[in-house]
Structure 1
Amino acid sequence: MDSSHGAIVFLGKDLIVKEGEIEEIIRNDQAISVWYDERATHPSGAPRVTQLLSPGIYFNLPLTSAGFSIWNISLDCLVIKKEVIHALGFLNPSFTTVEGAMVDWIYRLLYGGALMEPVEFLQGNSIEPKTSNRLTVADEFRYIKNRLGKKWLLWSLFRYSWGGLTPWGEAWKSFNRVTKEGNIKVPIP
């Protein structure tokens, strides 16, 4: 859905926006680039492997009292300015799951300087958050390779299997698959 204010609205099935709420949000806070309603987010969280990496720790933001962090943002309840998508691109097609592509995109938004704010713009008080699958091992490795480089990818393989996050064989297969892939540049519309 396209807004006349230069924003794109992503809204999941069966979710309804309060009348005039999005226009008011955009008009009232010009400094913010991304708005989301945390009542309808996906509880997938940050990639598990980032807990084992030094640079990744800086992005493991603590959960709020509502149990939310920015890693849970989904396309079910998001308003984003068009200029942000034009500057930073959208989902990376090299990821095998939407969750993996979303984590990569959120990272790009953070690094690109997009300011994000939780705002209740959906109708209803008891919106059920949707369940989400954890990221696949391959998508976690893809994220590390694309964002932090091959050194941290190799360290991740060691720590991922040694730390008991997944069996060695599965980690090794995913690692090999990801290292053979080239880096796919995210298309900027």
Structure 2
Amino acid sequence: MFSKTTSIYSIINFNKEDYSQIIKNIESSRGYISYIDSKLKKGVTNPRYEKYLDLKQALYTFRPPVLPSNKTNLIAHQLPDGLTKKKLDSLNVKYGVQDDYYIDYKLINDQHGVKVYNYKAIPIECDIFNDSLRLDENFQKLNQSCLSDTFIMNNNRRFMMLPFLIKLEDKYVEPVVIVNVYDVGIITIQLIIYVEHDNVIQLI
């Protein structure tokens, strides 16, 4: 397996007097996964997005399009607390289940030729969410170790933005979108796309 990471970077200027309003607008839009306020050294995740991911994973797990039909294998799963089958049926009618997930099986019992698996359908957005949080944490550690508190661009708000799903050669890729808003009047936008390939690729 081979991989290629593409990073696209853009810089925007704005009136530095609008810094607080821009931050407020992004936060109130709930269009982010998480952010770290470098001045307060505090990280915050978007609770609404986390709830969305929990519901989507439950829907995909309990209403999958295909389940194994082997009679010697059994699938086990349990509804999350506070979520009913009626709610799942309602979500399934409203949104349905797409192909933007992968399957995770874990053998939990094997007796008398019958295997019982714990089954979970993981939406790709869950992977992007976890990767974004890890990346955000590593960026923060790097900044704290390398930048002084008096650095002119150290007072900023970094947002990991909500992901979008795209396909490349019939495979989903997992983009990460990072927006830095600096109080000196600069916004940087970075898009990172990681793509896996079965064969060696030519780098241009």
Bin of the TM-score, shorter chain as denominator length: under 0.3
What TM-score does the superposition give when structure 2 sets the normalisation length?
0.23
Larger Rg: 2
